Amino acid sequence: MKRVLLGACALVMSMAAHAELRIGVTVGNLDNYISYLVGAMQDQAKKSPDGVRLQVEDSASDVGRQLSQVESFINQKVDAIIVNPADTAATQRITAKVREAGIALVYVNSRPEVDTLPEGVVFVGTDERAIGRMQMQYLAEKMNGKGNLAIILGRLAHSDTRKRTDGVKDVLGQFPDIKVVEQQSGDWQRDQGMNIMNSWVVSGEKIDAVASNNDEMGIGAAMALKSAGQSNVLVGGIDGTPDGLMAIKSKMLTVSVFRDPVAMGAKAVDTALALVNKQPIQGDVWLPTQLVTAENYQQFVRP
CB 149 within 8 A of CB 173: no
pLDDT digits (tens, 9 = 90+) for 7-53: 434 333 333 344 789 999 999 988 889 999 999 999 999 998 878 99
Please say whether the dihedral angle defined by the alpha carbons of residues 168, 180, 110 and 258, taken in this order, is positive or negative: negative
User: What whole-number distance in Å separates Cα of residue 288 and Cα of residue 71?
Assistant: 32
Predicted structure pTM score? 0.86
> CA 286, CA 99: separation in Å to the nearest integer?
22
Domains of the chain plus CATH, in order, are 2-126+260-288 (3.40.50.2300), 128-258 (3.40.50.2300)
CB 282 within 8 A of CB 121: yes
Q: Distance (Å, rounded) from C-alpha 41 to C-alpha 250?
A: 30
Residue 250 near residue 223 (C-beta atoms within 8 A): no
**What confidence score (pLDDT) does residue 15 get?**
35
Instruction: Please count the helices (runs of H) and the strands (runs of E) in the chain.
Output: 10, 12
For strands 209-212 and 234-236, give the pairing: parallel
The answer to whether residue 154 scores a pLDDT higher than 90 is yes
Q: Which helix (H) or strand (E) holds 288?
A: none
The three-class DSSP label of residue 235 is strand
Q: Is the pLDDT of residue 152 over 70?
A: yes
Burial class (CB in 10 A: 0-12, 13-18, 19+), 69: buried
pLDDT in tens, 162-203: 999 999 999 999 999 999 999 999 999 999 999 999 999 999
